Amino acid sequence: TTIKFDLPKNSKVTLEIFNILGEKVATLLSASLLSGSYTYEWDAGGLASGVYLYRLEARNQVEVRKMVLMK
């Protein structure tokens, strides 16, 4: 799965993946990034099919999106 996002300003960014029960299954990113466009790949090869959520936090803003993993 590819997760894309844009940063209008330099900021500390955290990108985490959760299962539908709210348990964290991966942290893809936890770093300070410069402004610009970014793309991150999530390899879910070791996980079961189902619904997952990703949480992107940057500059005191949080975005949560749903993903469906089908194998």
Q: Residue 36: what pLDDT?
A: 96
Q: Distance between CA 34 and CA 19 in Å, rounded?
A: 29
Closest CA to 11 of 28, 30, 25: 30
Mean pLDDT of the chain: 95
pLDDT for the residue numbered 50: 95
Environment class of 15 (CB within 10 Å of its CB; exposed 0-12, middle 13-18, buried 19+): buried
For 43-67, what is each residue's pLDDT tens digit?
A: 998 899 999 999 999 998 999 999 9
pLDDT at 71: 81
What is the pTM (predicted TM-score) of this model? Answer: 0.89
Q: What is the model's pLDDT at position 26?
A: 95
